Amino acid sequence: METAIRVRDLRKTFRVPERDAGLAASVRSLVRRRYREVHAVAGVSVDVAPGEVVGFLGPNGAGKTTTLKMLSGLLVPTSGEVSVLGHEPSRREKAYLGRMTLVMGNRNQLQWDIPALDSFELNRAVYRIPEADFRRTRDELVELLEIGDLVRKPVRTLSLGERMKAEVAAALLHRPQVLFLDEPTIGLDIGAQKRLRGFVAEYNRRHGAAVLLTSHYMADVQALCPRVVVIDHGQVLFDGGLRELTARFSPHQTITVQLATPGADLSGYGTVVPADEGRVAVQVPKAQTSAVAARLLADHAVTDLTIEDPPIEDVIEQAFADRSAVAS
Amino acid sequence: MQALRLVGTYLRIGVQAELQYRSNVLFSVVQSLVAVGTSLAVLALVFSHTDDLGGWSGSELLVVMGVYVLLGGVLRSVVQPSMTQLMDDVQHGTLDFVLTKPADAMLLVSIRRIELWQAVDVLVGAGIVGYALTRLDTRPGALAVAGFAVALALGVVVLWAFWLLLTTAAFWVVRTDSLVELLSGMYQAGRWPVTIYPGWLRIGFTFLVPLAFAITVPAQALTGRLSGWLLLGAAAFTVALVAVTRWVWTLGVRAYSGASA
């Protein structure tokens, strides 16, 4: 199968001026500038198949946005190979730009003073979408996103969540085959996040577009991305399924029990961790989970028992804290 | 053809947006009348002392003023709003959306905003030119009017290219708030024909700030001062300016790396 996105040893190095604090240093830097090289992306390789949804995770400054910008043709790579839908993005060919889209949650492209419908019209002209296709796609998006009433109001009167839905609709009118979504749910309330997520999943199912999504909300990633690429300091720390990520970076599981007679000391079974009122939780190495659970059931009058992986946030945090574990 | 359709759509949507702010029309009319009134008073003052300013009579200078007001209207209604938006986009990183569109980015940034009511000045300027024509000793012939139309069109292109050229500097300087004031200050010098300025200033205005071609040349066409060669020169200058602007724009886009990078 051909790949939608193919990246090989991608690097981007910025030269940033640097100076010490203070007036003297400011004056000195006027005369002689010192530069520091920042390796924002330092050797990323990744493949994304058509129709695949990939979560792109990493702390602030990890190189996610820089990578997305190189993929969308905004930045020219320092070195390495990028091919999206068979195009080299940095050439910014119209044939390429017309098949991809970029959505940035913290920036909007809809014109503020006019209804979203008018901005859609502008995009129709820019993307040269035939009238019939345009109507069909627009009506489909408006229906899927449930924004029928909103698109007639000036964008400035919309709430953040409403505006984001309209932004997404505007970005998809030309039916792109590759979607770069940079923090699309940032700042939205839980309900709006959930609806947008549902929409992205549905769009992907209907149109088979490849999606590369960055988000700080793990709920987005869990709901949408069977596969995640974790990046830190410009390098790929992990590339695989969410489940494998948990297995790799979190060797523990948590067993939580409710006992018929509370108060028993369970520290002999594992590390006791805080739990809800009336329950006791112990953290045990994953390989021993079932054995420990069996012993607990045999030794105590257990009325309820659950086994859980740690929250994905904790796993990611663990991954960043423990980079040496990846190298091995 | 495709580009024209794109421009047409943008202008139509821009006008629609502006129609929401009908109260602005009153403000624009008052603003325009005050500005024109002041200019007329200055002109009257000057000609109460002399009949001739650097070879231009009062009525002829009125033509210059008409063209100045007219082009100023184009500048403030179409060119300047889009350029302000461009500086904003560079600062906020939203230029990314323009650069990822499958259309010519330089064209897109030039037509993105309109302030319709500022175009009141276009009508006022045309009115002044029309009135001045009735007072001229010799009425311009058909050829002169045609020359005027061409020179005026060139003037619009020159102003647009020049404003874009300087605004593109925003790519490197990141934020040049004072640019707008600086440019409008320079534009104000265009209310007098370039030929009345001393030599060194004239060369500066013509080549550095191409006001001569923008304002004086159309006025010269209506007052019997335009030769075919001058018009040809103006056309050549316009083409050259657009080419330079295009080149600097390309450099700017290349240097642009997004506000968060």
Q: Least CA distance to A77: which residue of chain B?
A: B257
Q: Give the residue numbers in B contacting A (CB under 8 Å), as ranges.
A: 2, 5-6, 9-10, 13, 16-17, 20, 92-94, 96-97, 99-103, 108, 112, 254, 257-258, 260-261
pLDDT digits (tens, 9 = 90+) for A121-149: 999 999 999 999 999 999 999 998 889 99
Percent of chain A surpassing pLDDT 90: 44
How do A53-57 and A210-214 pair as beta strands? Answer: parallel
| Minimal C-alpha gap between A206 and chain B (Å) | 24
Q: CB count, 10 Å around CB of A30?
A: 8
Q: Between the CA of residue B94 and those of A77, A321, B86, B88, B258, what are the distances in Å?
A: 20, 34, 9, 8, 8
Question: Are A94 and B5 within 8 A, CB to CB?
Answer: no
Q: Between the CA of residue A302 and those of A261, A275, A305, B5, what are the distances in Å?
A: 9, 16, 7, 74
The residue ranking higher by pLDDT, A139 or B254, is A139
| Cβ contacts of A96 on chain B, cutoff 8 Å | 102
The two tokens of residue B16 are 């629609």
Mutate to test the interface with A, among B82, B100, B256 (most CBs of A within 10 A): B100
Query: How would residue B72 be classed by pLDDT, with cut points 50, 70 and 90?
Result: very high
pLDDT at A114: 87
CB-based contact, A60 to chain B, within 8 Å? no
| Minimal C-alpha gap between B257 and chain A (Å) | 6
In the predicted model, what is the mean pLDDT of residues B188-214? 77
Is the per-residue pLDDT at B25 higher than 80? no
In the predicted model, what is the mean pLDDT of residues B138-166? 91
Q: Least CA distance to A71: which residue of chain B?
A: B100
pLDDT at B213: 77
Assess contact for A296 and A266: CB atoms under 8 A: yes
Write out residues in chain A with pLDDT < 50, as ranges.
324-328
pLDDT at B174: 53
pLDDT at B166: 85
Is the per-residue pLDDT at B260 higher than 70? no
| Minimal C-alpha gap between B181 and chain A (Å) | 25
| Cβ contacts of A108 on chain B, cutoff 8 Å | 94
Q: CB count, 10 Å around CB of A95?
A: 11
Residues with Cβ within 8 Å of A169's Cβ and at least 6 positions away in sequence, in order, are A116, A120, A138, A141, A142, A145, A147, A151
Out of A100-104, B182-186, B192-196, which region has the weakest mean confidence (pLDDT)? B182-186
Give the distance, in angstroms, between the CA of residue B201 and the centroid of all CA atoms in the same chain. Answer: 19
pLDDT at A320: 77
pLDDT at B261: 37
In the predicted model, what is the mean pLDDT of residues B28-35? 82
Burial class (CB in 10 A: 0-12, 13-18, 19+), A83: middle
pLDDT at B28: 78
In the predicted model, what is the mean pLDDT of residues B178-192? 76
The two tokens of residue B229 are 């060669």
Counting one residue from chain A and one from chain B, the pairs whose CB atoms sit within 8 A come to: 80
pLDDT at B257: 58
The two tokens of residue A259 are 């006992």
CB-based contact, A84 to chain B, within 8 Å? no
Is the per-residue pLDDT at B209 higher than 50? yes
Residue spans per domain, chain A: 5-246, 251-308
| Predicted ipTM beyond 0.85 | no
Of B10, B102, B258, the CB nearest to A122: B10
Residue spans per domain, chain B: 2-255
Superfamily of domain A5-246: P-loop containing nucleotide triphosphate hydrolases (3.40.50.300)
